[in-house]
Amino acid sequence: MKSYREELWFETKTRREYINITRHVEAVVRKSGVAEGLVLVNAMHITASVYINDDEAGLLQDYDRFLEAVAPQDAAYRHNETGEDNGDAHIKRQLMGREVVVAITGGRLDFGPWEQIFYGEFDGRRRKRVLVKVIGE
């Protein structure tokens, strides 16, 4: 069995942003040489997320509106009493998830229709990383 690990780095200009990272993950899978296996993609920060869905602008706006309604940035969070100002980002990450696992078949990501991998940033404007771990044959 082969194993390959690579980190992707992102620094957003805004506090919240949704980035389609599918092409980055595909490139890592190609580099790995794995034809049949799995790829794990996970955010290495507790205020960011990796998830799978459609790359449609309206949907991304809907996510943002939903997450802000559930965990508003300007609410009174106990976490913020520690000197932080990102209590909302921790909750948004928890809702959107930490990681995804995708099958690799024939050296390619084995997706359903419209599926894409996204990096969701909820406390941006600083450098953060995403782990891509490929295992298989």
Domains and CATH numbers, the chain: 2-74+85-136 (2.60.120.460)
Report the alpha-carbon distance of residue 112 to residue 102 in Å, rounded: 10
> Which are the contacts of 56, defined by CB distance < 8 A and separation ≥ 6?
none
Q: Distance (Å, rounded) from C-alpha 137 to C-alpha 134?
A: 10
Task: For residues 118 and 3, give the distance between their C-alpha atoms in angstroms, rounded to a whole number.
Answer: 23
Element (H, E) at 54: none
The pLDDT confidence band at residue 87, using thresholds 50, 70 and 90, is very high
For 32-49, the pLDDT digits (tens) are 999 999 999 999 999 999
The sign one gets for the Cα dihedral 99, 44, 115, 95 is: positive
